[in-house]
Amino acid sequence: MAVLTPRSEDFPRWYQDVIAKAELADNGPVRGSMVIRPYGYAIWERMQADVDARIKAAGAVNAYFPLFIPESYLRREAQHVEGFSPELAVVTHGGGKELEEPVVVRPTSETVIGEYMAKWTQSYRDLPLLLNQWANVVRWELRPRLFLRTSEFLWQEGHTAHADQADAAAYARRIALEVYQDFMVSTLALPVFVGRKTRKERFAGAINTLTCEGMMGDGKALQMATSHELGQNFARAFDIDYLGADGARHLAWTTSWGSSTRMVGGLIMAHGDDAGLRIPPRLAATQVVVLPVRDDEKVVAAAAQITAELKAAGVRASLDARPGLSFGRRVTDWELKGVPVRVEIGPRDLAAGNTTLARRDTGEKSTVPLSEAAGRVQALLDDVQDSLYQQALALRDSRTTDVTSLDEAVEAAATGFARLPWRLVGEDGEARLAAEALTVRCIQNPDGTLPDGTDDADDLVCLVARSY
RNA sequence: CGGGACGUGGCGCAGUUUGGUAGCGCACCAGACUGGGGGUCUGGGGGUCGCAGGUUCAAAUCCUGUCGUCCCGACCA
């Protein structure tokens, strides 16, 4: 009687089981809405704190813009409104009356922020203007999946204005690499392919979209974050211009970039196993749980002491001495929740002056003297962080196949990613792939780095996969 | 919007064919024994059977209508 549906049997079902059993989220009352439970929200808060610090390190500052946007704003940028219209939630009534102009619930904030950027940008001295906001957005979804695709989700959206295209392009690139990729690699222990989206897959209104694509446990791709060069499209629509040093008026160049609660879904699917979630130590709100094996005064006292020592050493540790729950039950609970390391202590350990350390990533256990426990735990946490990354990387490498034709790509993408020269695909190829439920996830340089600009140089490669 | 299924305690389901006054597993509550990988036992609480009509002595079950949900085909962090 397994706790969860095995991943190999039914991956989507496994995903839902993990969310329910680890108490991450529930469906909301309105179809497509999501209730994020405390344990799931704690994961998001840790992600937020880390991403927020990186955004600030990149020079952007936080602000807040309204949830309601005049419908007319959306219309000002043709591609933008075309891209978002089908998924807009529109408010037609307020205060008991029909509104003269409907307002939309923001699906993203380029338009309102553009309006204010235009006010705030007078001189070249006001640039670059680097803004970010943490907010909820609404995109009415027909096929909701908790964390991955819900009608309302939480995210961070950055919006910047620059004096010239090169500066805007460099910033969009910097965000993709230094904020998103580095966060995913260093904190989420998740390797990502960073590349450029095809013209077809671009954000509505962008001239270039950069993406971080992760591989999930079933070989499907998940777009984990995106960074867009918006060219002068929004600057033109919202009159974001400035007086240059040359005394002439110039149109600004803008960017936008976002990462969302979808990353929680990526975390689950990239690292989870048949026993539940596996949270990388650097992300985990609880890094270590200390479990007394029996409800015995001495054992519990020893467990409490280890917990205190760990905390004093800077480890995020907690004690689980809940009476009435068997040891096995508590172990299973924390495995489901993905806590990286367990410290177990029972009468036998105590008599020998030992404690048992168990790592979540491999299940491996070791016995160490009580006096050394705190120090060993620190080292173990570093090990788990590294090992989760290596496991995710090994999976991705083993399921990424270099191919030389579209037919081979279709075959390889049945189980993972196919990499092939972009010139073999092109827009016609994309249409053919779409018929097989496949998409070009991103375009890269042959060495896997992010291409500069948007030119279709001859040697570019692309990654093709099924995706969420 | 086109095709398929389903609505029965919190969750998952049986019961519907052949009407007889609602049951199982998990979860929950109380107590006891337990505790080195989802423990056992005893007792207990909780359901207008989606909704509205109708047929009948009697409806979860039959009839009509209605609402909702889920799955499959065009977009998306």
Q: What is the DSSP string of A336-397?
A: HTT-SEEEEE-HHHHHHTEEEEEETTT--EEEEEGGGHHHHHHHHHHHHHHHHHHHHHHHHH
pLDDT tens digits, residue range A163-204? 999 999 999 999 999 999 999 999 999 999 999 999 999 999
Task: Using the structure block, give the residue that is written with the tokens 């962008």.
Answer: A206
pLDDT score at A289: 98
Q: Calculate the CA dihedral of residues A352, A358, A364, A370 and round it to 10 degrees.
A: -30
pLDDT score at A411: 92
pLDDT tens digits, residue range A438-460? 999 999 999 999 999 898 888 99
pLDDT score at A13: 82
- The Cα A169–Cα A113 span in angstroms is 19
H/E segment holding residue A98: strand A97-105
Whole-Å CA distances, A67 to A103, A105, A262, A322 = 10, 6, 20, 43
Q: From residues 7-66 of A, which are strand B contacts by CB within 7 A?
A: 21, 31
pLDDT score at A35: 87
Enumerate residue ranges in chain A where pLDDT < 70: 1-2
Q: From residues 214-233 of A, which are strand B contacts by CB within 7 A?
A: 223-226
Long-range contacts, stretch A89-97, CB < 8 angstroms, 24+ apart? A89/A138, A89/A140, A89/A151
Q: Is the CB of A310 under 7 A from strand B?
A: no
Kindly report the length of chain A. 468
User: In DSSP terms, which residues pair with A253 in a beta bridge?
Assistant: A162
pLDDT score at A2: 67
Q: Which DSSP symbol is given to A185?
A: I
pLDDT score at A117: 98
Q: Is the CB of A295 under 7 A from strand B?
A: yes
**pTM value?**
0.96
- The Cα A71–Cα A180 span in angstroms is 31
Please give the ipTM for the structure prediction. Answer: 0.85
Strands A461-465 and A192-196, by their bridges, are unpaired
Q: Which DSSP symbol is given to A85?
A: G
Q: Which tokens sit at A333?
A: 């609970």
pLDDT score at A1: 43
Q: Is the CB of A204 under 7 A from strand B?
A: yes
User: In DSSP terms, which residues pair with A215 in a beta bridge?
Assistant: A221
Q: Is the CB of A281 under 7 A from strand B?
A: no
Q: From residues 318-337 of A, which are strand B contacts by CB within 7 A?
A: 323-329, 331-333, 335-336
Q: Euclidean distance between the first and final Cα of chain A, in Å?
A: 29
- The Cα A90–Cα A139 span in angstroms is 11
